Amino acid sequence: MKAARTRRFGRRPRRKAATPPSGLRRTLRCVRPHLRGHRFLITSGFTALAFDVFFRLLEPWPVKLVIDAASRALGADLHRPGPKLEAGLGTMLLCGGAIVVISLLRAVATYYTAISFALVGSRVAADLRARTFRHVQGLSMRHHTRASTGDTVQRLVGDVSRLQEAATTAGMPLLGNSVTLVAMTGILFWLDPLLALVVIVTTSVFAFLSRRSSGPIRKAARMSRTGEGALATTAAQTLGAMREVQAYGLEDTISSNFRSTNSATLGTGVVALRLAASLERRTDVLIGVAIAVVLAGGGMRILDHSITPGDLIIFLTYLKTGMKPLKDLAKQTSRIARATASGERVADLLEAQTDLPEAPDARPLASRNPDIEFDNVYAGHGEGTTVLHGINLKIRAGEHLAILGPSGAGKSTLASLVLRMIDPTSGTVRVGGEDLRDLQTASVRSHVSILLQDSVLFGTTVRDNIRFGRLDAPDEDIEEAAVLAQADAFIRNLPEGYDTVLGDAAKDLSGGQRQRLAIARAILRQAPIIILDEATAGLDPASRESILDALDVLTRGRTSITITHDAFAARLCDRVIWLEDGRILEEGKPLELLRDPESRFFKWLGEAPGPRAADIPEDIPDDMPGSVGART
């Protein structure tokens, strides 16, 4: 009627407001692409499941045949259609044997169902985890700065495992149980529609209860998982900074933080379990009531010859076994609700988009030795924050540029623009004359090596740590790079030389040794642009000297951007810029700036620890880009 009225007045039917996809749908959307590769196993699993359901349905029939045959033999007047066996030893043995065969075949079918789905589950989980990990690595630094590492690890490891466990131990049985329930209801309707209605009513009440409970269960489970993520973050941060924790005596403070997060997580976990347990118990009561109704009603139906005693056995057995799936359904519903909470957390991660999208027609960087240009660049790290204000700067290929300035001035931010870790909010960064946003990010990054104050080494062999600079490098190149970085001698003194596996974060090496390995990696990379971000800060004078020599080798003939507080290093570069409050306030050749007592560089050298302006020899040639190693 309403539709007709709408049509008559020519109004378009109002479209339903777009509702966000449910948690289960989002979870399935994450998993679906990984199912395609396992079609054979999935088909085998479903075939075995079909047999399992079939044998489950068949199980009570021999009992019915025996009871009906015995009832007839005892004089009962049974008029129901269907197979009628003569009561006797042959019938009893035949039916007993049938039960054994059915149980055996069902056991085989159940076994193959479980194995097939378990295999699919573990393979899909491994694929999903690998895809999520790959995706997370591609997200921007802005995402990683905001996201908690512990929580991300929890999603990658714990949540994916929970999803896998629930899919194989709850999702698949749930499917089998649902099919069994439908088939059983069909058979019960055929036997006696009136009694079968009891099953329909029971199932409907269960569906209502389950639907009402699964939302709160999922919500509580999601909170519990988030709490576990926070716990993992606290644990990871504390264990990673054990030296500081012990030195400052923070064990008790951190333990008490950990304890309170732990208790909160426990609380939400208990809420989820309580809701699930309550759903299960309500289902128990529901089944009890259904059995009572069927028993009383069925007895009456036997007496008025509507069904046979065997039929009542089928009813009661189906109610018991058919309602077991229903009971399992309650258990599985809560498990699935909890897994859906995990699935949503994985989906959140997978759906997180990088805020540095690559243009569909992005090109690789063509120039082997590109210039870098900042054209009126404004940039910041988050909405509404501006760190750099209108930077105009051209760095010629082969030039050594030092960036000086107070802490927080935006020096590292400037360098991160070159690697396209962030994009300018306005203005353009060009490399090799092309806007970075038009270039393939991986190609741009392959032209850059970066060395930080705390270089990151991975828990693998020394050789592989250097090889991360160029994955296809042969062993000879790795050793040559180590010699140039002055790392070869100490590497050979390690227990297994180049094959020594470094401990967690290479804490078994000194700061200088770690830095030399990182320099060897950068030398191996042969990138034309080197960014040194306080690469010698925090080293003792002896280590610093040898690192400076190694850096000399690394930067020779390449473009270098040296972010430093080291006066001597800045003095040796071709050009110095002074950055303050995100603006370039001074720029020039170091010697020119040194000759101007009003220059910030001059004043800073006067105040800075280390060599004074007057101590620095003036005979270093001014204009020799590419020939002087940038020393930091």
Ligand X SMILES: Nc1ncnc2c1ncn2[C@@H]1O[C@H](COP(=O)(O)OP(=O)(O)OP(=O)(O)O)[C@@H](O)[C@H]1O
Query: Where on the chain is the footprint of ligand X (CB under 6 A)?
Result: 145, 381-382, 387, 405, 407-413
- Least CB distance to ligand X at residue 405 (A): 6
Residues paired with 580 in a beta bridge:
583
Beta strand residue intervals within 330-425, DSSP E: 372-379, 388-395, 400-404
When the beta carbons of 98 and 537 are compared against ligand X, the nearer one is 537
State phi, psi for 561 to the nearest 5 degrees. -120, 110
Provide the pairing of β-strand 448-452 with 434-435: unpaired
When the beta carbons of 159 and 533 are compared against ligand X, the nearer one is 533
In the structure encoding, which two tokens stand for residue 111, read together? Answer: 């076994």
When the beta carbons of 389 and 445 are compared against ligand X, the nearer one is 389
Residue burial 381-393, b: 16+ Cβ < 10 Å; e: rest: beeeeebbeebeb
- Least CB distance to ligand X at residue 589 (A): 22
Could you give the CA distance from residue 502 to residue 459 in angstroms, rounded to a whole number?
5
In the structure encoding, which two tokens stand for residue 134, read together? Answer: 């790959």
What count of other Cβ atoms lies within 10 Å of the Cβ of residue 493?
A: 9
In the structure encoding, which two tokens stand for residue 180, read together? Answer: 């069994």
When the beta carbons of 298 and 424 are compared against ligand X, the nearer one is 424
In the structure encoding, which two tokens stand for residue 312, read together? Answer: 């009542």
When the beta carbons of 336 and 448 are compared against ligand X, the nearer one is 448
- Least CB distance to ligand X at residue 381 (A): 3
In the structure encoding, which two tokens stand for residue 1, read together? Answer: 């009627």
- The DSSP result for 210-236, as a single string, is HHHHHHHHHHHHHHHHHHHHHHHHHHH
3 state SS of 450 = strand
Residues paired with 562 in a beta bridge:
402, 532
- Least CB distance to ligand X at residue 233 (A): 17
When the beta carbons of 38 and 544 are compared against ligand X, the nearer one is 544
Residue burial 276-289, b: 16+ Cβ < 10 Å; e: rest: beebbebbeebbee
Check: CB of residue 525 under 8 Å from CB of residue 609.
Answer: no
Q: Which residue has the tokens 């002087």?
A: 628
- Least CB distance to ligand X at residue 382 (A): 6
- Least CB distance to ligand X at residue 608 (A): 13
When the beta carbons of 385 and 493 are compared against ligand X, the nearer one is 385
- Least CB distance to ligand X at residue 146 (A): 8
In angstroms, how far is the first alpha carbon of the chain from the final one? 81
Q: Which residue has the tokens 């056991």?
A: 107
When the beta carbons of 429 and 481 are compared against ligand X, the nearer one is 429
When the beta carbons of 411 and 544 are compared against ligand X, the nearer one is 411
Strands of the sheet containing 372-379, edge to edge, are: 388-395, 372-379, 426-431, 434-435
Rounded-to-10 torsion of CA 121, 123, 129, 134: -150
- Least CB distance to ligand X at residue 541 (A): 21
- Least CB distance to ligand X at residue 565 (A): 7
When the beta carbons of 141 and 628 are compared against ligand X, the nearer one is 141
- Least CB distance to ligand X at residue 144 (A): 8
When the beta carbons of 404 and 485 are compared against ligand X, the nearer one is 404
Could you give the CA distance from residue 436 to residue 416 in angstroms, rounded to a whole number?
12
Residue 136's identity, in one-letter code, is V
Choose among 465, 526, 468, 541: nearest CA to 501. Answer: 465
When the beta carbons of 412 and 510 are compared against ligand X, the nearer one is 412
- Least CB distance to ligand X at residue 389 (A): 12
Could you give the CA distance from residue 16 to residue 28 in angstroms, rounded to a whole number?
23
- Least CB distance to ligand X at residue 388 (A): 8
